[in-house]
Amino acid sequence: MAVKDEKQFKELFAKGTSLGKVEEDVMREAFKTQDLWVNMGPQHPSTHGVLRLILALQGERIVDMEVVIGYLHRGTEKLGEFKTYHQFIPLTDRLDYIAANAMNHGYVVAVEKLAEIEVPERAEYIRVLMAELSRISSHLLWLATHALDIGAMTVFLYCFREREMILDLFEMATGGRLTTTYFRIGGVADDLPEGFIDKCKEFCEIFPERVKDYDDLLYKNRIWLSRTVNIAKISAEKGLSLGLSGPSIRGSGVNWDLRRSNPYSVYDKLDFEVAVFDGCDVYARYLVRRKEMLESCKIVKQCLEWLEKNPGPVRAKVPKVFKPPVGEVYAAVEAPKGELGYYIVSDGSTRPYRIKIRAPSFANLMSLPEMCKGHLVADVIAAIGSIDIVLGEVDR
């Protein structure tokens, strides 16, 4: 059976040259062993969507690996050229549907930069608040699924308990739970509803306690350590060269967070620490995200304090028929997964001439083969989990 599939595989894929030719080993020749080609995905419980990996295995060790994507391609960029600037916002929600607010944020920042729109400060704080809540919720979902992939089932449900609280908050403010479409060009859709701030504060009180729950189950758990420490290592140079960004590269000791290095919105007025760990492995990336959740919680608290004291408008006046000047801009924000950038080319009409989304997951996924080579099948799962991809964003 293996022979047949290998032949098939070669027919299909040997046209390209990407599969590094597996080196002929004298031993292998003598024993007449073959690589076992395993097709992992697009329907597989832990590829986090419709990711497909083609693994070449010797026993359980990975010799070669090819990542196949595109199963969720919806042509968002092409669609963008046929929508007005306002109409494109809901489409951005659907990219990284786990952290829709962050996706909105990147887009509106780019458009505002293009059209030089001044956003009311209250709107900026609300945006940061929402983006950070999204970050927490995204990281919670990441921790939940990552732990579940490695077999820790209870963490999954604990994380979802807290994520539910955030989704309730989103529902209060926006009416939506997952794809919120809350941000508008020039501000946000509406001011926060009554009672939101109290409920959010309650969450901020509870959340650090709950993180201790997860720590009890994972932080120093021997099994968790043995599954994550020194697994899927990637050096800082290699990671940067491969386009790794966000928490994943901060796990390799690169102190680079767009919120700090190129502050946008009101991040320069907020006090938070950038989580950097230099283990380069799955565990370091876990630590980074774990700390980021707590830091985000701190940012949320600061935003809430500011918002309580300073009422005001939340939306600049932007014409319904919105025509930004001719030109091109690139604006990037720190999405939960990494650098999210929008490159917008405007020809002065109501619709963007070209809109390109720099999706962090797409770039992060590129380093997966580098991380996995030489590891076991079980480590692939840990590695996929550790770079935290969302296929909606990879395939766009």
SS (H, E, C) 304-346: HHHHHHCCCCCECCCCCCCCCCCEEEEEEEEECCEEEEEEEEE
* Tokens coding 268: 């320069």
- 369 preceded by cis ω (within 30°)? no
| Closest approach of another protein to the CB of residue 11, in Å | 12
- Interface positions, 166-205, toward another protein (CB under 8 A): 186
Closer residue to another protein, CB minimum distance, 16 or 195: 16
| Closest approach of another protein to the CB of residue 9, in Å | 12
Q: State how far the Cα of 230 lies from the Cα of 233, in Å rounded to an integer.
A: 6
| Closest approach of another protein to the CB of residue 358, in Å | 4
**Which of these ranges, 23-31, 86-94, 141-149, 174-182, lies near another protein under the rule CB under 8 A?**
141-149
Q: Does 312 bind another protein (CB under 8 A)?
A: yes
Q: Does 11 bind another protein (CB under 8 A)?
A: no
What is the secondary structure of 35-83 as a DSSP string? PEEEEE-SS-TTSSSS-EEEEEEETTEEEEEEEE--TT---HHHHHTTS
**Which of these ranges, 94-102, 146-154, 168-176, 278-286, lies near another protein under the rule CB under 8 A?**
146-154
Contacting another protein (CB under 8 A), which of 197, 274, 294, 345?
345
Contacting another protein (CB under 8 A), which of 196, 343, 350, 351?
343
| Closest approach of another protein to the CB of residue 297, in Å | 20
| Closest approach of another protein to the CB of residue 156, in Å | 8
| Closest approach of another protein to the CB of residue 118, in Å | 4
Q: State how far the Cα of 20 lies from the Cα of 176, in Å rounded to an integer.
A: 46
CA 188 to chain centre: 22
Where b means 16+ CB within 10 Å and e means fewer, 46-66 reads bbbbbbbbbbbbeeeebbbbb
* Tokens coding 227: 């599954």
Please answer whether residues 307 and 193 qualify as being in contact, where contact means their C-beta atoms are separated by less than 8 angstroms. Answer: no
| Closest approach of another protein to the CB of residue 113, in Å | 6
Contacting another protein (CB under 8 A), which of 148, 303, 387, 389?
148
DSSP 218: T
- Interface positions, 55-94, toward another protein (CB under 8 A): 60, 69-70, 73, 75, 77-79, 82
CA separation (Å) from 13 to 19, 20, 24, 62?
8, 12, 19, 18
- Interface positions, 219-248, toward another protein (CB under 8 A): 221, 223-224, 226-227, 237-238, 240-243, 245
Please answer whether residues 19 and 64 qualify as being in contact, where contact means their C-beta atoms are separated by less than 8 angstroms. Answer: yes
| Closest approach of another protein to the CB of residue 66, in Å | 10
Closer residue to another protein, CB minimum distance, 38 or 167: 38
Count of residues near another protein by CB under 8 A: 100
Q: Does 208 bind another protein (CB under 8 A)?
A: no
Closer residue to another protein, CB minimum distance, 180 or 250: 250
